[in-house]
């Protein structure tokens, strides 16, 4: 009888251990998925901010180029007739 009781106790302990292992594995999986999702959101947000910053830089560069062109036109009214005078790719 003592032997059968020990066997039952051992089986109960093994079942509890398996249930606890399954619970811990499930919790670990949930924490891991949550962490991966969090990192993905951070990367996406960072990527969006970089794209917005680059768009803004391009807008500002275009605006500066436009202002510089308008300033040159104001300084030299002949620019409209002879734009090659300010062609920066040509050598003087």
The tens digit of pLDDT for each residue in 10-48 reads 899 999 999 999 999 999 999 999 999 999 999 999 999
Range of the domain at 10: 2-86
38 located within any domain = yes
39 located within any domain = yes
Range with lowest mean pLDDT among 1-5, 26-30, 36-40, 50-54: 1-5
As given in the structure block, the two tokens for residue 22 are 């399954």
Domain tally, the chain: 1
92 located within any domain = no
18 located within any domain = yes
48-55: average pLDDT = 98
Contact (CB, 8 A) for 72 and 86: yes
Q: What is the pTM of this model?
A: 0.54
Residues 6+ apart with CB under 8 A from 73: 79, 80
Q: What is the pLDDT of residue 77?
A: 64
């Amino acid at each position: 009888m003592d032997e059968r009781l020990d066997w039952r106790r051992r089986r109960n302990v093994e079942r509890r251990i398996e249930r606890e292992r399954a619970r811990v594995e499930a919790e670990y999986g949930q924490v891991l998925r949550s962490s991966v999702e969090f990192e993905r959101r951070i990367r996406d947000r960072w990527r969006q901010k970089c794209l917005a910053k680059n768009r803004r830089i391009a807008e500002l560069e275009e605006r500066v180029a436009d202002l510089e062109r308008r300033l040159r036109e104001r300084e030299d009214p002949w620019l409209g007739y002879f734009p090659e005078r300010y062609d920066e790719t040509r050598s003087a």
